[in-house]
Amino acid sequence: MMSKIDVREAARKIRNLTIKIAEKSGTGHIASGLSMADILACLYFSEMRFGDGNAEADHFVLSKGHGAISLYATLSLKGFIDFDVVTEYHRLGSTMTSFPSEPFYRGLDFASGSLGHGASVSCGLALAAKLDSSNKRVYCIVSDGECQEGAIWEAALFAGHHQLDNLTVVVDYNKLQALGKVGDIVTLEPFADKWRSFGWDTIPVDGHDVAALTNAFEKTSNKPKCIIADTIKGKGVSFMEGDLNWHYLPLKGEYLGKALLETSL
Ligand SMILES: Cc1ncc(C[n+]2csc(CCOP(=O)(O)OP(=O)(O)O)c2C)c(N)n1
Ligand SMILES: [Mg+2]
């Protein structure tokens, strides 16, 4: 296991690799990836087990599949996929599809991208692990706009009822969705109270504070866990942070140079 300082460095590298992949692919959804870079770093470089030794491999579901660019960056940093392969992101015929899909790689074994479904899939995986007397854990990242979908709350109800204490859902609470502010479109608040009322151990945390995130992951209880990660969309690239336009825009010209520079520091 890496130290917390190393996880922080992993997050920086994930951001830098994300921009490098964006440079090659010329596509968007970059800010959605950057928003969860610290969460991915904690999961892949501290919290999750990948089946080494006698440990069972945990499952990860990127319910906000449109952020795949940073998941691919993470898997490349982890050494599970060659960087030459991940830079084929979004190209016709590439296995690095815009949203995660088959063929799967180590650390990536579920397709996603149609928002709203990942939490339910994760509930199924967590319940199956319990029925198999397996100590596998299941981790799922959902986005905040995604939490406006009813299926999320069906999963919340189910996991609470079955006390799926092997399930952790992290909400990337960046307050922006594709076309506006989450709070203006359909507010989620009081968000933590809602998860708690569904029977979840709910931990609001600064989603860019690696130490706080790690502590939240390490906390145990007999309930499913919801980490509400307070994040900034586009975190790490100054002109992208909190700017709705960067949900879809590709990086070009001087913007690209600035993003490469800022994420390499
Ligand atoms: C069911 C479904 N509807 C629409 C989309 C298109 N879409 C992709 S990202 C997005 C909004 C993303 O906002 P949010 O959920 O807050 O994610 P963020 O990028 O902020 O993490 C939408 C509507 C989708 N992927 N799936
Ligand atoms: Mg959002």
- The ligand 1 atom nearest the CA atom of 114: 26
C-alpha–C-alpha distance, residues 240 and 174, integer Å: 12
- The ligand 1 atom nearest the CA atom of 35: 21
As given in the structure block, the two tokens for residue 4 are: 């917390």
Question: Rounded mean pLDDT of 220-239?
Answer: 98
pLDDT of 54 reads: 74
C-alpha–C-alpha distance, residues 207 and 174, integer Å: 9
In the reported structure, the alpha carbon of residue 1 is separated from the centroid of ligand 2 by a whole-number distance in angstroms of 30
pLDDT in tens, 65-122: 999 999 999 999 999 999 999 999 999 999 999 999 998 999 898 999 999 999 999 9
pLDDT of 28 reads: 81
In the reported structure, the alpha carbon of residue 182 is separated from the centroid of ligand 1 by a whole-number distance in angstroms of 11
User: Does ligand 1 lie within 6 Å of residue 234's CB atom?
Assistant: no
- The ligand 1 atom nearest the CA atom of 147: 15
pLDDT in tens, 141-197: 999 999 999 999 999 999 999 999 999 999 999 999 999 999 999 999 999 999 999
The model's pTM is 0.97
Buried b (16+ CB within 10 A) or exposed e, 44-63: bbbbbeeeeeeeeebbbbbb
User: Does ligand 1 lie within 6 Å of residue 144's CB atom?
Assistant: yes
pLDDT-based confidence at 2, cuts 50/70/90?
Answer: low
Q: Can you name the residues that pair with 143 across neighbouring β-strands?
A: 172
Q: Give the contacts of 198 (CB within 8 A, at least 6 positions apart).
A: 153, 156, 157, 159, 160
Mutate-to-test residue for ligand 1 from 63, 66, 70, highest number of ligand atoms within 8 A of CB? 66
Mean pLDDT of the chain: 96
pLDDT of 4 reads: 65
